[in-house]
């Protein structure tokens, strides 16, 4: 495969818009073209917000061999896309998980009570709830205030609260562990050492599903390692592309 002809799709997470990728686009020079997808726009266009619908829409737009870099909730969309087309040649998952809900033999993610509480608050006060969540995204042992200032321009508008509410239902219902385990393409996992949403301890469980997959933990980073620690994050991504995408 000619890597210079590879395309890249960037998928954002819950409560954040696609502009979260703006400051890192220059690091992705290996790709011929890059599409930072807005999942909210797609949901509005198709008048549906489920992972299945989002994945089908994006799949229909893919014309070239593509690598997906998917952050958090975007990882669910990426996995589903990869089951729908052979155009996906690799996936980089960042601070994501094939199952966001704590279940028997699957922990280190989110409690159902926490997700339902977020839904309840989203109905009462969408703007404050989305901003509260952005605080969780930015939280780390240090640099929390700096990270908050950095990601604030990318916080989703409250008008998208119905879509965000529906996505929380998806987090409760979707379990993609079997689909993730069955993927027949190169995958790279990046977790964040100080992530308060997806614990890096989940690395062992991920490796049980895909023993050959590389899973690396970005030190001194919050839930957004590609913003908090971009140098380390993109060095790992570059190595993955160079070594495994052929």
Select from 75, 2, 55, 61 the least CA-distant residue to 32.
2
Q: What is the pLDDT of residue 131?
A: 97
| Helix, strand, or coil (residue 143) | coil
Tokens of 116: 């339902």
Res 246: pLDDT = 65
Q: What is the pLDDT of residue 70?
A: 98
Name the token pair of 66: 């593509």
- Partner residues linked to 90 by β-bridges: 67
Distance of CA 116 to the CA centre of its chain: 20
pLDDT score for 5: 79
Q: What is the pLDDT along the chain (246 residues), one digit of tens a residue?
A: 555 579 999 999 999 999 999 988 989 988 999 999 999 999 999 999 999 999 999 999 999 999 999 999 999 999 999 999 999 999 999 999 999 999 999 999 999 999 999 999 999 999 999 999 999 999 998 889 999 999 999 999 999 999 999 999 999 999 999 999 999 999 999 999 999 999 999 999 999 999 999 999 999 999 999 999 999 999 999 999 999 986
Say if pTM beats, i.e. exceeds, 0.85: yes
Nearest residue to 186 (alpha-carbon basis) of 127, 138, 239, 240: 240
H helices present in 152-219, as ranges: 161-173, 177-182, 203-209
* Residue range 201-233, pLDDT digits in tens: 999 999 999 999 999 999 999 999 999 999 999
Show the tokens assigned to 44. 């509005």
CB neighbourhood size of 116 (10 A): 13
Q: Is 213 exposed, middle or buried (0-12, 13-18, 19+ CB in 10 A)?
A: middle
Contact 190, 114 (CB under 8 A): no
Q: Specify the pLDDT at position 42.
A: 98
- Residue 232, Cβ density class (10 Å: 0-12 exposed, 13-18 middle, ≥19 buried): middle
The closest alpha carbon to 93, from 5, 173, 190, 160, belongs to 190
The pLDDT value given to residue 141: 87
The C-alpha atoms of residue 201 and residue 99 are separated, in whole angstroms, by 14
């Amino acid at each position: 495969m000619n890597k210079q002809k590879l395309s890249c799709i960037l998928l954002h997470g819950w409560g954040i818009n696609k502009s979260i990728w703006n400051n890192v686009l220059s690091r992705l020079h290996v790709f011929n073209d890059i599409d930072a997808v807005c999942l909210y726009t797609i949901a509005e266009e198709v008048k549906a917000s489920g992972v299945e619908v989002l994945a089908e829409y994006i799949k229909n737009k893919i014309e070239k061999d593509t690598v997906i870099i998917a952050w958090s909730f975007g990882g669910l969309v990426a996995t589903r896309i990869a089951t729908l087309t052979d155009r996906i040649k690799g996936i980089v998952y960042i601070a994501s998980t094939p199952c966001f809900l704590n279940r028997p033999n699957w922990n280190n993610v989110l409690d159902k009570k926490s997700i339902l509480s977020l839904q309840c608050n989203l109905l009462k006060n969408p703007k404050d709830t989305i901003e509260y969540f952005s605080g969780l995204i930015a939280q780390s042992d240090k640099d929390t205030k700096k990270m908050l200032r950095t990601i604030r321009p990318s916080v989703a508008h409250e008008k998208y609260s119905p879509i965000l509410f529906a996505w929380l239902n998806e987090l409760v219902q979707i379990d993609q562990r079997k689909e993730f385990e069955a993927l027949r393409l190169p995958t790279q996992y990046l977790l964040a050492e100080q992530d308060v949403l997806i614990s890096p301890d989940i690395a062992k469980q991920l490796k049980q599903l895909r023993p050959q997959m590389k899973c690396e933990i970005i030190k001194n980073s919050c839930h957004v390692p590609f913003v908090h620690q971009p140098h380390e994050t993109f060095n790992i991504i570059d190595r993955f592309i160079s070594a495994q995408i052929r």
